[in-house]
Amino acid sequence: MNSPNPNRMQNASGNNPVISMERGKLPPQAVDLERVVLGAMLIDKKGVDEVIDILHKEAFYVEAHQHIFEAIYDLFQETKPIDILTVSNLLKQKNKLEKVGGDYYLIDLSRAVGSSAHIEFHARIILQKFVQRSLIKISTEIIEEAYGDNQDVFDLLDQAEARLYEVTQGNLKRSAESAQDLVIQAKKKIEEISNKEGLSGIASGFERLDTVTSGWQPSDLIIIAARPGMGKTALTLSMARNIAVNSGQPVAFFSLEMSSVQLITRLISSETGLSSEKLRTGKLEKHEWEQLNVKVKALEKAPLYIDDTPSLSIFDLRAKARRLASQHDIKLIIIDYLQLMTAGSSQKGGNREQEISTISRNLKALAKELNVPVIALSQLSRAVETRGGSKRPLLSDLRESGAIEQDADIVSFIYRPEYYKIEEWDDEEQSPTEGQAELIIAKHRNGGLDNIRLKFIGSLGKFDNLDRHDSPFEFASKMNDDISQIRPSISDAFSDDDDDMPF
């Protein structure tokens, strides 16, 4: 006869930890608090208002409680009264009343509480238990997948981080949503937009562009492409400055080509009106140092985050972007530029077009996951240079264009005729092209196409609205040039021993 297993022996208190491990642990739960919260929602409308945005159906551990909360939520969405009778009738219509224990159970829930006091606190405990259960589920899946050899380790890391990010955001994804839920969400969004003054998306600071796009929209992938020297970095830096400084909205800028100090120096030039050459050499007059110190204060406070990691992989980018979104609530992501990225080790052996396809697809997925617009800069092929006649870029000029064009919501090109020694625009007015650029919107999934002219200020490395009078930055730059030109004549007019100077 076998001797009893000591690991299965239970002490008087019933707290043997070995037994609990062997027989399995109960998932984290707060059933009593679930009853209290549902009871409070049945008797007090205030209780519903306080927790309806905190909890969701899956947060409840008991299936019956999930059905009851779902009924309360449906009544709330339809602005109908919420009480024992209305919830009971709706559950009856859905053939779920008996599943939850009938009218008796609803009455029992309402009797369990006297008011909705502390309901929010109780609801957050329920949500915490749900997060714990979610972490256990995700961890178990990760462990199972990690034991397998059929998946690339970097893909596994990316998936694991994505799942954990969903939990930290309190936004665990469901497999599908009903048309009814989606229509309600869409109507709510349309209502919010109608009540909102200004644009529905993130304003770029360029008036005509914002009119066409209504601002950069959440979850959109925007491609801005051009040949080298057209001003891709200058344009996106100008946008980043407008959004971070003027609107105070956090922006993440991933620069794979220039260092973060070089980028911020460009922004300082744009902000102060001091030329990049002067800042590069450091040969500033006393008044220019004062101008520098005063003008950069707004830039110092701007929520702009620059990452200059070279040869960044799409895996690293997604990980960094998630952390920035979690820590700083990033509203826009800019990547300079797409062709300098790598797809990671999982793409070894594939050609460059397949790699770009993977990067493009992942950038669109990142935009959807974080629900922010992602702007990616892209190089154009040499076909633009060799083509006779107009040098305006076409969609076919995108390098490794197939996937980029397919994944992008907006594809735009920068065109500066001045760069090609073209002195007049090819329109009826034939106006001069000097100091001007054209942003060509060649694809717009949710809107119209347009050619938008902008002012290009090469000495400051910035773009501005074309129809605006000289901005303070340009004025300051011109003043600096004027002062530097008249200083020698003033010095010649008055020698050091002149005591009769009029000023």
Active-site residue set: 257
Residue 231 contacts residue 463 (beta carbons within 8 Å): yes
Amino acid identity of 33? Answer: L
List alpha helices for 78-118, DSSP H: 84-93, 102-111
Tokens of 158: 């990316």
Q: How far is CA 21 from CA 26, 192, 313, in A?
A: 10, 51, 41
Closest CA to 406 of 451, 373, 358: 358
Separation CA 376–CA 235 (nearest Å): 12
Q: How many CB atoms lie within 10 A of CB 168?
A: 11
Tokens of 164: 């954990």
Closest CA to 270 of 305, 302, 229: 302
Residue 350: φ, ψ to 5°: -85, 165
Residue 133 contacts residue 58 (beta carbons within 8 Å): no
Separation CA 359–CA 355 (nearest Å): 6
Provide the sign of the torsion angle of the four alpha carbons 250, 255, 259, 262, taken in this order: negative
Residue 272 contacts residue 292 (beta carbons within 8 Å): yes
**Residue 421 burial (CB < 10 Å; 0-12/13-18/19+)?**
exposed
Instruction: Give residues with Cβ within 8 angstroms of 315, minimum separation 6.
Output: 154, 157, 158, 344
DSSP annotation string for 451-483? EEEEEEEGGGTEEEETTSPPPHHHHHHHHHHHH
Report the first-to-last Cα separation within the chain, whole angstroms. Answer: 116
Instruction: Give residues with Cβ within 8 angstroms of 68, minimum separation 6.
Output: 38, 87, 91, 100, 106, 109
Local structure of 188: helix, strand or coil: helix
Tokens of 151: 């998946």
Residue count of the chain:
503
Tokens of 52: 């309806």
Q: Which residues of 101-132 are buried (b: 16+ CB within 10 A; e: fewer)?
A: eebebbeebbeebeebeebeebbeebbebbbe
